Amino acid sequence: MARRTKVYEGKAKVLYEGPEPGTLVQYFKDDATAFNAEKKAVIEGKGALNNRLSEFFMTGLNGIGVPTHFIRRLNMREQLIRAVEMIPLEVVVRNVAAGSLSKRLGIEEGTALPRPIVEFYFKDDSLGDPLVTEEHVIAFGWASQQDLDDMVALALRVNDFLSGVMMGVGIRLIDFKIEIGRVWEGDFQRLIVADEISPDSCRLWDIKTGQKFDKDVFRRDLGSLADAYTEVARRLGVLPRNIAAVAKPTLIN
The DSSP call for residue 10 is -
Contact predicate 93/159, CB 8 Å: yes
The percent of the chain in helix, strand and coil, each rounded to the nearest 5, is: 30, 35, 35
Considering the rule CB under 6 A, would residue 171 count as an interface residue with ligand TMP?
Answer: no
Region binding ligand TMP by CB under 6 A among candidate stretches 64-72, 146-154, 161-169, 200-208 = 200-208
Among 59, 62, 100, 211, binds ligand TMP (CB under 6 A): 100
Considering the rule CB under 6 A, would residue 202 count as an interface residue with ligand TMP?
Answer: yes
Region binding ligand TMP by CB under 6 A among candidate stretches 20-28, 38-46, 61-69, 93-101 = 93-101
Contact predicate 148/137, CB 8 Å: yes
- Closer residue to ligand TMP in complex, CB, 159/230: 159
Considering the rule CB under 6 A, would residue 129 count as an interface residue with ligand TMP?
Answer: yes
Considering the rule CB under 6 A, would residue 203 count as an interface residue with ligand TMP?
Answer: yes
**Rounded CA gap, 43 and 137, in Å?**
35
Helix axes 145-168, 46-63, angle to 10 degrees: 110
- Closer residue to ligand TMP in complex, CB, 163/201: 201
Contact predicate 174/203, CB 8 Å: yes
Considering the rule CB under 6 A, would residue 116 count as an interface residue with ligand TMP?
Answer: no
- Closer residue to ligand TMP in complex, CB, 147/175: 175
Considering the rule CB under 6 A, would residue 95 count as an interface residue with ligand TMP?
Answer: no
End-to-end Cα separation, the chain, in angstroms = 27
Which residues contact ligand TMP by CB under 6 A?
A: 92, 98-101, 129, 175-177, 201-203
